[in-house]
Amino acid sequence: MAVLVADDVSRRYGETVALDGVSLTVEEGEIFGLVGPNGAGKTTLVRALTGTTVIEGRVELFGTSPQHVDRERIGLLPQSFDPPERLTVRELVEYYGGLYDDPEPTETLLKAVGVADRADTYYENLSGGQQRRTCVATTLVNDPDLLVLDEPTTGIDPAGRRTLWQLFEDLAAGGTTIFITTHYMEEAEQLADRVGLLADGSLAAVDTPANLVTTYGGESLLYVDGAFDESVLELFPYDCSLGEGRLTLRSVRPEAIGDVVGELDEAGFSYESLRWTEPDLEDVYLELTGQAVSEAGDADERTVSAVAGGERAR
Ligand code: ADP
């Protein structure tokens, strides 16, 4: 069953077209990841889906408009969410739980997001990552059937991010539908069943991460640095090129690397190093948006260095 439907959704701010005819559906229990450069319209889409901005087009949540849907069924984490700072973590989650008739037990939620050991700390004294986890806990107080999360893991360290991925996966396995925006490509790739790539207010592509990589990611590449001359190209029947002492072979499967090495040895070529890379969602992003992920926003250091390094070694 489609839990979330967007049909030809547009939003203009004066001359600016923030969303330009976006259509998508998200099925029950699915995790849908939305990625795209800054200004692509992600937050506007989240607001459109949750009925917090006026739109052209149609949005339905559980078969009804966002304005009429049962709020008990929805959990929303906006990108900027500033809860009262002079409450402790426990008080804060209890405060939001108090808005519902039958809230989830606070301790369970604190454990689930990994801030149980900070329960008595004032929100303002938490690290950015702990604050964000606490915010995630507040969206779960009503055990929502649909979770809409705008960059839920921004500022959270990689280990903490994984804790939340596991939590989201468990929720989805239990039937919760999750719509999540992120600028971490690894997050989209690992977590989302399907990924939508938003660029200039339009969905440039929607598919499973694996299909996106196959369609848009380009080929795997094997780089071999050594003392080569042109004759090395004759050794390999597949696509290869030579430049500045580097032999580049396209579309070599990892299991065939041994054969390449064997052929080089047999032909008497020596090499210094060998590196194999395969495309991933960052390459898809680059292909479809024309931007490296590091240019897209507050990418963390790991992402920046991976992109700055050219290719990612595996
Ligand atoms: P993203 O979340 O992908 O960074 P946004 O949805 O925030 O993108 O913004 C999409 C476009 O709409 C941007 O050009 C932005 O400047 C514009 N925009 C967003 N909100 C407003 C607003 N309240 N008033 C005017 N322009 C806005």
**Segment 234-278, tens digit of pLDDT:** 998 778 999 988 999 998 888 989 999 999 999 999 999 999 999
The Cα angle at residue 20 between residues 19 and 22, in degrees rounded to 5: 85
pLDDT band at 1 (very low <50, low <70, confident <90, very high): confident
Q: What is the pLDDT of residue 165?
A: 96
Q: Cα dihedral angle (20, 24, 29, 33), rounded to 10 degrees? A: -40
pLDDT of 83 > 60? The answer is yes
Q: What is the pLDDT of residue 312?
A: 38
Written as six digits, the tokens of 265 are 């040895």
Residue nearest to ligand 1 atom 6, measured at CA: 41
Distance 229 CA to ligand 1 centre (A): 53
Q: What is the pLDDT of residue 295?
A: 57
Cβ of residue 13 lying under 6 Å from some atom of ligand 1: yes
Distance 303 CA to ligand 1 centre (A): 24
Residue of 16, 197, 198, 203 with the most ligand 1 atoms within 8 Å of its CB, for mutation: 16
pLDDT of 301 > 80? The answer is no
Distance 139 CA to ligand 1 centre (A): 23
Q: What is the mean pLDDT of residues 22-30?
A: 98
State the closest ligand 1 atom to the C-alpha of 150, by its place in the atom list counted from 1.
2
pLDDT-above-90 percentage for the chain:
82
Q: What is the pLDDT of residue 303?
A: 37
Q: What is the mean pLDDT of residues 294-310?
A: 41
For the chain, what is the mean pLDDT?
Answer: 91
Q: What is the pLDDT of residue 245?
A: 87
Residue nearest to ligand 1 atom 7, measured at CA: 43
Residue 12 region by backbone torsions, left for phi larger than 0, else alpha for psi between -120 and 50, else beta: beta
Cβ of residue 41 lying under 6 Å from some atom of ligand 1: yes
Q: What is the pLDDT of residue 311?
A: 36
From 293, 212, 303, select the one nearest 40 (Cα to Cα): 293
Contacts of 107 (CB under 8 A, 6+ apart): 116, 119
Query: From edge to edge, which strands make up the β-sheet containing 16-27?
Result: 16-27, 2-13, 56-61
Cβ of residue 16 lying under 6 Å from some atom of ligand 1: yes
Q: What is the mean pLDDT of residues 103-113?
A: 97
Contacts of 210 (CB under 8 A, 6+ apart): none
